[in-house]
Amino acid sequence: MAGSGGHCDGHCDGHPWRAPREGWRGAVWVPPPASRQVVTESLPFSGDGATEMALEFARVSESSSLPVRGRAARPSGRHRRPVPSQLPPEAPALVLAVPGDASGAAAELAATVRVDNPQIEVRLAGLGEDGKELTSELEAAARSRPEDGVAAIVVPLLTGPHPVADRMIAEAVAESGATVTVTEHLGPHPLLAEALHIRLAEKDLARPDRVRLLNVSSPVDAVVLATVGGDRGAVEAQPTAVLLASRLTLPVLVASLDGAPSVADAAERLRGIGAGRIALSPCLIGPEAAPGLADAAAGDAGIECAALLGSHGLIADLAARAYGSVLAEA
């Protein structure tokens, strides 16, 4: 084989292949259609300070196929397991539990989960004032499944802790008498931070995704991430704030719409570090808070407000992932 000049020494006659430069440790060669016999050769290879090396290449036959390098499996983790494409008839139902009634954004999310995951029996239950609807849905799911199996997996449509809704879900599960698993809340999760980013960008309160639509200037100087669920809800939202800050490359502080710190307090702190224009990002799907609560808090603090997460497709994806995570651990 020739050296760095790139001339063949007989091993490559009739093939559009150039010898690698000295010092290379490998080469990629695609054979022409006319010559496809399976032959493996070892050629002497020399490089700076290297002893005899072997350079192997294969001429692939017409009937053989080149190996395909597959993507590495994603690491497992919370909400990361996909839902199996096929499930047995006795697989648990996915019951979405939502504060209030089962309408609006909740109904749209349930419809999205059904369309994206036709192998899952998806049910939607509004908690109302007493949780009776959830109890009824769980009882119905149990009647069509073996007594010794899990009847349902309840996924709360909540991004974080909600004392009232969490208590009602627990009571409804106990009253149903069915074997039921209740998943964790949908946050924190990178997909939740992505959905929040998108809602901000839709109101021109954040740069679009930096990979697809790079925009050098930032519309705001800082963001307040608003939650419900009291002081505990604010604490539990801290990881989501970190994820959102990483996406926006901006300061993000958590505030509570029904506890401390308030939105006004968080905005004042941000102004104290030099932030001028501030945006409010409601970490809410919608039914868990009174209508207009986030907008009112933003108005009182003198800042602009993004839309609620609502029926964003990433929230439906998170709900399905929560279900799949429980199945994988069973």
Which CA distances in Å does 146 have to 91, 114, 133, 136? Answer: 10, 23, 22, 17
pTM of the model: 0.75
224 with 307, same domain: the answer is yes
Q: Would you give the DSSP letter of residue 86? A: -
* Number of other residues whose CB lies within 10 A of the CB of residue 256: 23
How confident is residue 210, by pLDDT bands cut at 50, 70 and 90?
Answer: low
According to the model, what pLDDT value does residue 209 have?
Answer: 66
Which CA distances in Å does 284 have to 62, 107, 207, 210, 317? Answer: 58, 16, 21, 24, 16
Which CA distances in Å does 187 have to 78, 79, 138, 182, 240? Answer: 10, 9, 24, 14, 7
102 with 175, same domain: the answer is yes
325 with 180, same domain: the answer is yes
58 with 167, same domain: the answer is no
Domain contains 74: no
Quick one: average pLDDT of 258-283? 97
How confident is residue 84, by pLDDT bands cut at 50, 70 and 90?
Answer: confident
253: left (phi over 0), alpha (psi -120 to 50) or beta: beta
According to the model, what pLDDT value does residue 286 have?
Answer: 96
Provide the residue range defining the domain that includes 99.
93-187+314-329
154 with 236, same domain: the answer is no
* Number of other residues whose CB lies within 10 A of the CB of residue 65: 7
According to the model, what pLDDT value does residue 215 have?
Answer: 52
302: left (phi over 0), alpha (psi -120 to 50) or beta: left
How confident is residue 216, by pLDDT bands cut at 50, 70 and 90?
Answer: low
201 with 291, same domain: the answer is yes
211 with 170, same domain: the answer is no
229 with 276, same domain: the answer is yes
Question: How buried is residue 203: exposed, middle or buried, by Cβ count under 10 Å (0-12/13-18/19+)?
Answer: middle
Per the model's pLDDT, the better-predicted residue between 329 and 297 turns out to be 297
Amino acid at 142: A
306 with 203, same domain: the answer is yes
Domain contains 183: yes
Domain contains 50: yes
Quick one: average pLDDT of 230-242? 96
Quick one: average pLDDT of 112-137? 97
How many separate domains does the chain show?
A: 3
Asked whether the predicted pLDDT for residue 245 surpasses 50, the reply is yes
276 with 198, same domain: the answer is yes
147 with 107, same domain: the answer is yes
* Model pLDDT for residues 193-206, shown as the tens digit of each residue: 999 999 999 999 99
212: CATH: 3.40.50.1400
How confident is residue 22, by pLDDT bands cut at 50, 70 and 90?
Answer: very low
272 with 320, same domain: the answer is no
Domain contains 207: yes
* Model pLDDT for residues 166-179, shown as the tens digit of each residue: 999 999 999 999 99
